[in-house]
Each structure stands twice: as structure tokens, then as C-alpha cells.
Amino acid sequence: MDDETLLARLELWLEPYLAGVTSVKGLQSVSVLQALKHYLGWELSQQLDEWLPTHHLLPTGNHKKIRYQLGMEPTLSVRMQEVFGEQSSPRVAKGTRAVVMELLSPAQRPLQVTRDLASFWAGAYKEVQKEMKGRYPKHVWPDDPANHVATSKTKRQLNA
């Protein structure tokens, strides 16, 4: 199904979700994804979720949203400590595409962008670790992040 077909059939798949919308705020609350999935039906919707999952399950048990934007790689923004223990970057499209990982500091600021988490752990992480140990001493910065337990907590919270 292409853009042209979807645009030609807006009244079938989107219009029912616009009933009662009278403001921009109301329009912003309309889930275009939900409308599209309903139009596609259960089977195609399941295939869409399999190919392009909306979230990634982190080793901490948290779910983080994967961002998809036209002309851009799928991207996952996550605090670095929450992916300790991950051996490789998550993949979409049935494993054919690596997700770009935007690894964030405890303050949610970008530290590193990579699509190859294993190489980052083995290489550039050491430099990031040195800087972050000084800047965020209350947080865990292990020597072997690929085999360390992921956390969303500070050292104090872990030891309590």
C-alpha cells in the first residue's frame, strides 16, 4: 500500500477517527497509527509490528520508543546505564536493519550515537567512561558494560 492509495482512501481509514474533532488539540490526540492499523486489519497490523516495532524492551525491563522518521534511520534514545548487558544494537525489519542508538547521560544528554553497540563497548566507551565517572560519580560506569547488569538507578539506590 502506497501513500497515493492511503490518501485516496482517507475517508475509509482516518475519517472515523476524526469524528467530533473540533480543535487542533483534539486533532493532536488522534492516533493516526491506530487508525491505520485498524484499516489494515489484525493480520497485516501484526506483520507491521513484527517488521517495525514501536518499542524496544531494555535489559532493565523498561520499554523505550523507537523513532521512525522519513529519510532517517530508526532511532532509540536511551540512558547508557539502561543498555549495560546488551551485546549488540537492537534490530528491526526482521533483523535486517540495526537501530541507531542515541546513548544518553543520566541527565538525558546525548553522549554517543552508534548503530554498533558491541564496537562501542569495546572501543570508544573507555573515553566516555572516564569523562562520565568524573561528571556523574553517583552513577555506575563499569569497566565491562557489555556484561554488566543494566540499571536505571544510582549507586546509592542500588546499595539501599
Which three cell numbers, joined as nine digits, stand for 140? 555506575
* Domain residue limits, the chain: 3-51, 55-159
Task: Check residue 121 and give its pLDDT.
Answer: 97
What are the pLDDT digits (tens) for 59-84?
Answer: 999 999 999 998 999 999 999 999 99
Task: Check residue 1 and give its pLDDT.
Answer: 74
Q: Using pLDDT thresholds of 50, 70 and 90, give the confidence band for residue 13.
A: very high
Q: Which ranges in 3-150 belong to alpha helices (H)?
A: 3-8, 10-13, 15-18, 24-28, 32-40, 42-51, 117-122, 125-135
Which three cell numbers, joined as nine digits, stand for 84? 549495560
Arithmetic mean of pLDDT, 104-124? 97
Give yes or no for a contact between 100 and 77, defined as CB atoms under 8 angstroms apart: no
- Chain Cα centroid distance, residue 2: 25
Cα separation, 8 vs 51, in Å, equals 25
What are the pLDDT digits (tens) for 81-112?
Answer: 999 999 999 999 999 999 999 999 999 999 99
pLDDT at 155 over 90: no
Query: Is residue 147 helix, strand or coil?
Result: helix
Largest CA distance in the chain: 59
Q: What is the pTM of this model?
A: 0.81
Task: Check residue 2 and give its pLDDT.
Answer: 83
Give yes or no for a contact between 103 and 111, defined as CB atoms under 8 angstroms apart: yes
Say if strands 75-79 and 100-104 run parallel, antiparallel, or are unpaired: parallel
Q: What does residue 63 show for φ and ψ, rounded to 5 degrees?
A: -105, 130
What are the pLDDT digits (tens) for 27-60?
Answer: 999 999 899 989 999 999 999 999 999 999 999 9
Q: Using pLDDT thresholds of 50, 70 and 90, give the confidence band for residue 157.
A: confident
